[in-house]
Structure 1
Amino acid sequence: MKTLRRNRQRGAALLAAMLTVALVATLATAGLWQQWRSVEVEAAERARAQASWILTGALDWARLILREDARSGGADHLAEPWAVPLEEARLSTFLAADRDAGTAGTDAENVFLSGDIVDLQSRLNINNLVEGGRISAPGAQAFQRLFELLGLPGNELETMVENLRQAADLATDTATSQQAPLMPQTTRQLGWIGLSPETVAALQPHVTVLPARTPVNLNTASAQVIYAAVPGITLAEAQQLVAARDASPFRTLADAAKVLEAREQGLGTGLAGVASRFFEIRGRLRLDQTVIEERSLVRRDGLNVRTLQRERAVLDATPMAAQELSR
């Protein structure tokens, strides 16, 4: 009996020791996890702050380029410095590093920056459809030509125009219906005014949403957009305009009129021009498996380049890297 009792006591002591070890291991693991989590949160916050600084610097740099371009005045075209995209490059190449110390082994060696500036007046402006609370006939005709060219449903255009008029009334507190839709701020929100996802996807390369009525820049627009914006011309004539401007950018509308010859009256509708005020600045920062993209809408009035909108998204770089390797 004594031997049995002693064995039981030893077993209980061993069980208590095992429970104590398990408890200590659990507490140690929890402590390590909390410490690891704190380090990861701090690292993510630091990376977020650094990315914000870098992308803000890139935005300021792009605004400076547009400001310097404004000093020369005249037309805006794709042969100007602002239109040259920044291919992906190491951040260290933009830094004035000490020649002796170098930048090897620093974070800048693992960070890549790219971006470009897009002329938003190379597209049809959704807000050209409404003027003074009424549907603009020239704007509606331009969008009708674009819808027909892209093979999009005409009934969706009618719905979009009417909903856009109601949204404009709502924005000015003159709406008579409580069901008036909200005014879209980006092309991704065109579904708010009655367009299907398929139609929105087809329109996105050709349209934009700007806070003011704008003409299409003949120096930067595609042949499809030029065809839609300039009444009375054919798609072939629009392509002829594109070929002519690529050889020599249009300095004035008169230069474009010389190419169109007898069709030049279509340029007098106010929907075409050769200069731009609204641009989209796109920046892309890649760090390891994380990609941060930022898009900014800027308005240039003389030498004043003002940021109107900024939006940022975080992406996973792994699928992008796999896609590059498969090419």
Structure 2
Amino acid sequence: MHTKHARQSPALQPAQRKLPVRSRRPQPPGARPRGAALLAAMLTVTLVATLAATALWQQWRAVEVETAERARVQAAWIMLGALDWSRLILRQDASSGGADHLGEPWAMPLQEARLSSFLAGEGNAAPPEDASTDLSDAFLSGQILDLQGRLNLSNLVLGGKVQETALHQFERLFANLGLPAAELDLLVQALLQTQAPANAESDTPLLPPSVAQLGWLGLAPATVAALAPYVVLLPQQTPVNLNTAPAEVLQAAIAGIDRADAQRLVQARAGRHFSNLNEVRDRLGAKAVVSDSLHSVASAFFEARGQLRLGEIVVGQRSLLYRQGVNVRTLWSERGAFPLVADSAGAADTVNP
């Protein structure tokens, strides 16, 4: 019994056995793990890709900035040339003399046309369609408007006093358009304040630069929108050109006529324009009051509108032109979106420089 127990005792104590020890292959000195090398390679590729993308973006941005600046300069030069062309047309019209009417060349709008074709029509050599030039993608349109074909707000107040005759004209216009008389009173009072001497105790309102900003003087937006096609704000008093004014302005500008008389006047001048005011008096009869100080058949203030489409870039410009004899001066110009109107007696809302 004692011997059997002694033989089984080693099996009862497995913890006392020694496990075999596996030998490890010795690593060569200076060797690096493969995972670290792969990670370093990936970081290098990422860094190179980032630097390349940054350089490519900067190059693209520089090209876009240069392209935009070149297009802006080209558009500015083309619009300047279009403005000079408008001045030349008005100068030639003044050289021929006579009245200003809607049948003259200056009143004909230039519909959008390819600039290269337009230059070729003037006797210049146009670049071929496949030429690498920006002119092949440039389209120009323009129009000249007679600003004296509407009532001038500057006629209402002169030297800090309300001009009664001009006030009656605006009263008729407000009545014809269905606008409240209180809005006209507000407008007159505001214009008086703009000409009042500066007072430290009260704020003097500024004269708005255009009809679109008449809201500065307290007019309602609906009133400003209704007045825009029929009034203008010029730097000096001006008569109404009866050859270019629409029927609404004619009815307001000429005392003693109604809307039917104004419409007949528009139809009569469409066949043959008025060369002088006596022809207008003969057409309307004794009931109409046609004055040399309030009415005319010629104009001195015009607005030149132009729009250039150069690829995806669209540039608009309008300028106030003042004509004295054969001299035509540009009083100011501004850039923006100024679409062409249906005719020269349409909605121009310029300006006070």
TM-score, normalization by structure 2: 0.82
State the shift of 1:177 in Å: 5.8
Amino acid at match of 1:138: T
1:21 aligns with 45
Whole-Å separation in 1 of the counterparts to 2:305 and 2:311: 20
Whole-Å separation in 1 of the counterparts to 2:254 and 2:35: 94
1:320 aligns with none
How has the CA–CA distance of structure 1 residues 52 and 239 changed in structure 2, closer, same or farther, with 3 Å as cutoff? same
SS at structure 2 position matched to 1:75: coil
Whole-Å separation in 1 of the counterparts to 2:316 and 2:130: 25
Q: 2:191 aligns with which of 156, 164, 174?
A: 164
Whole-Å separation in 2 of the counterparts to 1:8 and 1:222: 92
2:313 pairs with 1:290 = yes
Greater percentage in helix: 1
Whole-Å separation in 2 of the counterparts to 1:26 and 1:197: 54
1:141 aligns with 168
Q: 2:297 aligns with which of 274, 283, 303?
A: 274
1:63 aligns with 87
State the shift of 1:168 in Å: 2.2
CA contact (8 A) 2:257 2:287 kept: yes
Q: How does 1:234-253 map to 2 (within 5 A)?
A: 234-253=258-277
Residues 59-114 of structure 1: CA deviation (Å, up to 9, x unaligned): 00110010011112221001111111111100002325547x64543321211001
SS at structure 1 position matched to 2:320: strand
2:102 pairs with 1:78 = yes
Q: 1:151 aligns with which of 159, 164, 178?
A: 178
Q: Which runs of 5+ in 1 are unaligned?
A: 316-327
1:108 aligns with 135
Whole-Å separation in 2 of the counterparts to 1:109 and 1:67: 30
CA contact (8 A) 1:135 1:161 kept: yes
1:30 aligns with 54
Aligned residues: 310
The structure with higher relative contact order (CA 8 Å, sep 6+) is 2
Whole-Å separation in 2 of the counterparts to 1:184 and 1:305: 25
Return the index of the structure with the highest Cα Rg: 2
State the shift of 1:2 in Å: 7.8
TM-score, normalization by structure 1: 0.89
CA RMSD of aligned residues (A): 2.4
State the shift of 1:279 in Å: 0.2
State the shift of 1:15 in Å: 2.2
Residues 227-271 of structure 1: CA deviation (Å, up to 9, x unaligned): 11111210111111111111110011100011111223x212732
Which stretches of structure 1, 4 residues or longer, exceed 6 Å deviation after superposition? 1-4
Amino acid at match of 2:110: L
- What percent identity do the matched residue pairs reach? 55
2:351 aligns with none
